[in-house]
Structure 1
Amino acid sequence: MADLPITGDLRTTLAGRMVGLTFMVAGLGLMAWAWLSAGRQVMTGQRTPLLRMAAYWSAPLLLIPPLFSRDAWSYAAQGALVAEGYNPYEVGPGVLSGHIVEAVDPMWMQTPAPYGPLPLAYGGLMAHLTMDPYVLMLAHRLLAVLGIVLIAWAVPRLATACRVDPAIATWLVVANPMLITHGIGAAHNDILMLGLACSAFALALTGRWGTAAVIAGAAAAVKLPGGLVVIAIAAVMSPLAGRALRFASLVIAGAVSVLTLVTIGELTGVGSGWLGALDVPGLVRSPFSIANLIGMAASGVLEWLGEDTAAQQSLQIVRLVGMVLAIGLIAVLSLRSSIHHAARAVGIALLAVVLLGPTAHDWYFLWCLPFLAVARPGRRLATTITAISLIFTIAAPLNSSLRGATIPILTTTALAIATIAPLLNHLRTLQPSKKARVAVTAG
């Protein structure tokens, strides 16, 4: 496509790129509008083919290059590192040469992989078959598709168990344009982590908590936050128990998950060196992280006061405090959450990791989406989830690939605001029927 006369001109000129961005934002806006329209039908109790609709929206994204992020190209290069015998937790893609690294974001060329052994081993296996970066990218997108399939299977079951209308939960999560654009379009491995975590919770509700704990370990073997679903598994194991028995259940489920995580690392030959690379995402000072915002503000003030040494340390200190607070909140949720509030506990725990962690990207908010959507969210929270989903869908082109590009950033921001504003105004029309309102707010 890039070699065609028209698309080639669009890619090489600023005006052409602005035309492309305009069409992209307009398309995302139409998708979001269609999602809201489907939501109105679901809220009034109409039967809407949500899964078929999500499949139709996802189909055009399956074979295109990654949207909004270059992470999928990094996945391909990290798999090539494994296939070439390098340790991806010690070296970055920069040790490779050729087409495999041409599309990798320069920021990550020299950094080790912060991901678990599962996607790296899979990437290495695929790289043994081909070193074509496009094919390897498609292989990782296939993992994202698997993640969405698992989410589509688990969410209605979780919703039913939590006494929430499965259709509303499916609309909020599976048909959510943020999940489709960032999941299928960008091919983030977060989606596989999320699919495994949701499946673990759904299996635990059927009484198979041992299998659920193993799958929770597999979710952590993709990205570590996926293992927080053991909070829900422990609640299922001892729903009416006191804190002592709940703590014992948490230890057992956690031990099984950790053992699974370590076993996957050993069986795949990748190991557990990725735990030392978990600070790599923190190189991005994301404004979505509260710890980052406070730390950068404190650093700026100290630097203005002439305290350069303290300014350099302040961000790290604030980030550390944020993680301590997140861990403390997770500990409280782990011991207090009953089976009726297990989904909410996992959602809040994941949201705490996002907001108080060292960095956060817009797609990180997908981590808590399924769990909050099935946790009897009430109209206010459901509206908030919908609004955030709309904003992060349409503002998706405002990613790190636009760093320093002032005109594209300003243009995309203006287009996104112009598209988001009327859509947010339509949120008032999302009025659930009496039956659906009772199902959502009961309890």
Structure 2
Amino acid sequence: MRSPMVRGVVGSVVVGAASLVTSVVPPSSWVASFPVTGDLRASLPGRMVGLSFMVAGLGLMAWAWLSVGRQVMGGQKPPLVRMMAYWSAPLLLIPPLFSRDAWSYAAQGALVAEGFNPYDVGPGVLSGHIVEAVDPMWRQTPAPYGPLPLAYGGLLARLTMDPYVLMLAHRLLAVAGIVLIAWAVPRLAAACRVDPVFATWLVVANPMLITHGIGAAHNDVLMLGLACSAFALALTGRWGTAAVVAGAAAAVKLPGGLVVIAIAAVMSPLAGRALRFASLAIAGAVSVLTLVTVGELTGVGSGWLSALDVPGLVRSPFSIANLIGMAASGVLGWLGEDTAAEQALQIVRLVGMVTAVTLIAVLSLRSSIHHAARAVGIALLAVVLLGPSAHDWYFLWCLPFLAVARPGHRLVTTITAVSLIFTIAAPLNSSLRGATIPILTTTALAIATIAPLLNHLRTLHPMRKLPVRATAA
């Protein structure tokens, strides 16, 4: 398999086949009783075989991506968007990868269709096949998502309550998000004087975007596509439309609205802080008005703002605030200060969010148009690292903005390494919690696959400022 195109397709097919064994699915679905894979799902050795093939397939996809990267660094112009489409195609109809979130999306849409307020109750009030695959952790929690995906899910749930069909419908939203990203990234790169072909390789063809976006069907990808499109529209002078699209991004997940930082920089590129603040206020007001309007027009409302702390129930190791808070809580608990230990995590999380908000405010008022992409990328990264919760796919939020911000060799190497790790180690997700043998097996396989691929990073040598070439095909 010398051709990266073929290697990536084979890897994607292997991942898709392995998902029939490893992914959590409703017991009533056709996947659960599919010949061969259904038998493998029923035993621990069978699931270990599935996990092995999953990691191997992800490794092939990552290897293909690195090989294409060397071609791009060598001045070639491979058909990146076509490659990404071929690599994604085998993942379109499979069960969701790595996470059960897509089943929650389906159930939350069913709540809307049944007349429940998804911001007051969780999927646990429903019964039947629609809740079979929802993670028990989220069955009693309200939805922390914006009105757009919930209204969309509610509309489809009025047509069918089949959880698999609804999951595939939410995957279409992720596909739409990736299409928007593929449209916006080359334009943002050209405006920031970065090679559009290079930026398209680093973002659009990235296996982390393909597997966590299309494979896992996270609605974060739609949020990101709308945010990138808003920035690209602002660069054409249509900042009003851009602010509306930014509001739509926030109506999927709130962090998408941070792209107003870039919109304000475009509105007043050479202005002082007073005019910049006015630009930020105007763009922000248009975005907030759009967000509220979407909630009212869809009938879902804005109650989701009170549920934004729901993801914080997971104590993710990717959040610096979580790590510090859990360490402080552990020490205090060891010293016998049980009350202080319970409060320590919440206090540290609060400090982390205040720090993130302060950084965002500084970036909003001081970033020039030339550094607008970097400012948005840093702001989103701050929300991930300093927020109350962070999952591996959250790092996709900052990927396109940092990729077009004239990245130097160190930043490109870091982005590439993080993408490789979060792609291949993705099977180590919440679905494995407490399963010692699968965790140890997947960890060993991931390390064995990641280590040789990281050695390939030495062959990637982008220049600090890459020349502008034609938009990727």
- The TM-score with structure 1 as length reference comes to 0.98
- Aligned match of 1:174: 204
1:56 & 1:107 partners in 2: Cα distance? 35
Give the C-alpha shift of residue 7 in structure 1.
1.3
| 2:62–2:420 CA contact under 8 A, matched in 1 | yes
The answer to whether residue 377 in structure 2 is matched with residue 347 in structure 1 is yes
| Pick aligned residue for 2:215 from 175, 180, 185 | 185
* SS of alignment partner, residue 402 of structure 2: helix
Which residue, 74, 77, 88 being the options, matches 1:58? 88
Task: Note the C-alpha offset of 1:24.
Answer: 0.3
1:112 to 118, 124, 142: 142
Q: Which of 362, 368, 387 does residue 398 from structure 2 map onto?
A: 368
Q: 1:99 to 1:78 in 2, by over 3 A?
A: same
Deviations 1:83-115 (A, max 9, x none): 000000000000000000000000000000000
| Residue of structure 1 equivalent to 2:49 | 19
Q: Give 2:229's aligned residue.
A: 199
Q: CA deviation at 1:282?
A: 0.2
The answer to whether the 8 Å contact 2:193/2:467 transfers is: no
In 2, Cα distance between the equivalents of 1:337 and 1:217? 21
Q: Does 1:136 align with 2:141?
A: no
Write the letter of the residue equivalent to 1:123.
Answer: G
State the distance in 1 between where 2:464 and 2:381 align.
Answer: 29
Query: Match of 1:230?
Result: 260
> Any conservation in 1 of the 2:196–2:468 contact (CA below 8 Å)?
no
Residue identity matched to 2:348: V
Question: 2:407, 2:465 within 8 Å by CA — same for their partners in 1?
Answer: no
Which position in structure 2 is the counterpart of 1:85?
A: 115
Residue in 1 aligned with 2:423?
393
Provide the rounded CA distance (Å) in 2 between the counterparts of 1:4 and 1:181.
22
Matched position secondary structure for 1:129: coil
**Counterparts of 1:260 and 1:45 in 2: how far apart (Å)?**
42
Runs of 4+ in 1 over 3 A off after TM superposition: 434-440
Residue in 1 aligned with 2:181? 151
Match of residue 243, structure 1, among 267, 273, 282: 273
**Residue 298 of structure 1 is aligned with which of 328, 334, 345?**
328
Q: Distance in 2 between matches of 1:438 and 1:211?
A: 30
**Structure 2 counterpart of 1:220, from 225, 241, 250:** 250
* 1:14 CA displacement: 0.8
Q: Which amino acid aligns with 1:302?
A: L
Q: Is the 8 A contact 2:224 2:397 kept in 1?
A: yes
Are 1:43 and 1:436, in contact at CA under 8 Å, matched by a contact in 2? no
The question of whether the paired residues in 2 share the 8 Å contact of 1:44 and 1:431 is answered with no
Q: Distance in 1 between matches of 2:343 and 2:460?
A: 47
Cα distance in 2 for partners of 1:5, 1:155 equals: 42
The gaps in structure 1 that reach 5 residues or longer are: none
Q: 2:364 aligns with which of 331, 334, 356?
A: 334
Distance of 1:338 and 1:179 partners within structure 2? 28
Distance in 1, Cα, partners of 2:254 & 2:283: 15
Question: 1:51 and 1:151 mapped to 2: Cα distance?
Answer: 11
Kept in 2, the 8 Å contact 1:43–1:168? The answer is yes
TM-score (norm 2): 0.92
**1:12 shift after superposition:** 1.0
Q: Share of identical aligned residues, percent?
A: 90
> For 1:319 and 1:40, how far apart are their aligned partners in 2?
41
**Unaligned runs of at least 5 residues, structure 2:** 1-30
Deviations 1:190-246 (A, max 9, x none): 000000000000000000000000000000000000000000000000000000000
Identify which of 112, 120, 126 aligns with 1:96.
126
Equivalent AA in structure 2 for residue 279 of structure 1: D
1:3-42 CA distances to partner (integer Å, 9 max, x unpaired)?
2442122101111111000000000000000000000001
- Shifted more, 3-12 versus 304-313: the winner is 3-12
Q: Which among 313, 321, 325 is matched to residue 355 of structure 2? A: 325
Q: Per the alignment, do residues 410 and 435 of structure 1 end up closer, same or farther by CA in structure 2, a change over 3 Å counting?
A: closer
Q: Report SS of the residue matched to 1:287.
A: coil
The corresponding residue for 2:22 is: none
CA distance in 2, matches of 1:212, 1:420: 39
Counterpart Cα distance in 2 of 1:394 and 1:403: 18
The count of corresponding residues between Structure 1 and Structure 2 is 439
Which of 106, 116, 125 aligns to 2:155? It is 125
Amino acid at match of 2:356: A
Tell me how far 1:47 sits from its aligned partner. 1.6
How much does 1:435 deviate?
A: 10
Q: Output the CA distance in 1 between the equivalents of 2:444 and 2:372.
A: 40
2 CA distance for matches of 1:230 and 1:47?
32
- The answer to whether the Cα contact below 8 Å between 1:200 and 1:215 also exists between their aligned partners in 2 is yes
